[in-house]
Amino acid sequence: MFGLGSLEILVILALALVVLGPRRLPEVARQIGRFYGQIRRTTNELKNTLDRELREEERSIRRVVAADRRQELETLRQTREEAARERLKDAPDTPVVEPSEAIPEEDHEPEEDS
């Protein structure tokens, strides 16, 4: 607690007993305990609030990034489609060759080695 060892705490308690006296020491200890508890509650509430705000901000950023990615993909698709249309427009007379027509199959026997 506060980086104090047990010996230091005993010295502080003995000093408090001498300064405050046996009658006031329990009352002061209760006040210190309440104050410490209130500080812990306040810091926990602050931490929870900050965590919640950070999570909300992260979600918002993720949504924006996802929307940007979708927009970029759509732009790429449109560009690809426009480029394909331009290629077709530039070469309308080029015949479309089916893969089966591109390489004629020859019916011949494999050559035998003599």
Using one digit for the tens of pLDDT, what is the confidence trace for 105-114?
555 555 555 5
Residues 42, 35: Cα–Cα separation, whole Å = 11
Q: Which amino acid is at 86?
A: E
- CA dist 95 → 46, 55, 91, 101 (Å): 72, 58, 9, 12
**pLDDT tens track for 26-67:** 898 899 899 999 999 999 999 999 999 999 999 999 999 999
Q: Whose structure tokens read 């996802």?
A: 66
What pTM was computed for the model? 0.49
Domain range summary for the chain, segments of one domain joined by +: 14-88
50: Cα within 13 Å, side-chain hemisphere: 6
For residues 50 and 53, what is the distance between their CA atoms, to the nearest angstrom? Answer: 5
